[in-house]
Amino acid sequence: MAIFVNEHTKVIVQGLTGGQGKFHGLRNRAYGTKVVAGVTPGKGGQDVEGIPVFDSVADAVKATGADASFVAVPPKAAPAAILEAAAAGVGFVVCITEGIPAQDEARVYATLKRDYPRTRLLGPNCPGIISPGRCNIGITAGEIAHEPTPGGKNVGIVSRSGTLTYQALFELKQQGIGVTTCVGIGGDPVPGTSFVDCLAEFQKDPETSAILMIGEIGGSAEEEAAEFIKANVTKPMSAYIAGVTAPAGKKMGHAGAIVSGGKGTAQGKMDALRAAGVKVGANPTEAGQLMAQIIASLG
């Protein structure tokens, strides 16, 4: 199995007629993802290399039965695009857009929780999600992901860092380890989907034997994940936390990656995860090697 998306997921691309939407939407389709429609207001009736374009998400869902959306629009338009998808009944929304103001993210998150509890948002500012061999929504290169081994020991990946999402996938591919689903949750201050959300799903998934988690400095998401792992996760885990040498008070890349008031440090997160029984690597490669050891020990 896989979590959140699989070979049956039908995807619309909001912004398919734009440069990024077209490039990544067509790549997703080439991977085998069922990209059934695009949405660009005012361009309904057109098509992009055989993919029909609609004026609204509601029209696209009515015509295609789509249940997932890939939001690839500029920061100013992204909040409205996410809420439009939710209002149309789309159950899973992936937003890769970077640079959405934190207050807009918070407003969208609160609106989804209040008015559209059946819609899950992944992102924003994330690489997306890939269930190797089944579905790829976002900007992850499909060729770096190893498909799960039927009846074998496979790994679920959840990461805050986009680039390290790719490295985690490739580290496992080099080890010949299959991946059920890899979820990039994004590093912005108000992510739609958290570590805990993904850990809970991986824990329930019978095809996922172990979990690899990539965190980074800033916020308390990793500490919250550690508490959840302690209480609820029985599957073995390895992890890596980025930002060991980051200076306090300085923003490092992601909007959420800032250490303040002595909280959110890489060391504190590593200590919390180790206390929860997670094997923590000193770098991404070591985290992958630790996972290879875990898989080997499972027989």
Mean pLDDT of the chain, nearest integer? 94
Q: Which two tokens stand for residue 36?
A: 């059934």
CATH superfamily of 141-298: Succinyl-CoA synthetase domains (3.40.50.261)
Q: Which CATH class is domain 10-122?
A: alpha beta
Facing residues of 38 across strands?
13, 53
Is 8 known to be catalytic? no
pLDDT for position 265: 87
pTM of this prediction? 0.94
Q: What are phi and psi of 211, to 5 degrees?
A: -130, 135
Percent of the chain with pLDDT over 90: 89
Write out pLDDT tens, residues 83-122.
999 999 999 999 999 999 999 999 999 999 999 999 999 9
Contact between residue 56 and residue 39 where contact means Cβ atoms under 8 Å apart: yes
Which residues of the chain are in CATH 3.40.50.261 domains? 141-298
Write out pLDDT tens, residues 240-252.
999 776 666 555 5
Which residues of the chain are in CATH 3.40.50.720 domains? 10-122
Contact between residue 159 and residue 185 where contact means Cβ atoms under 8 Å apart: yes
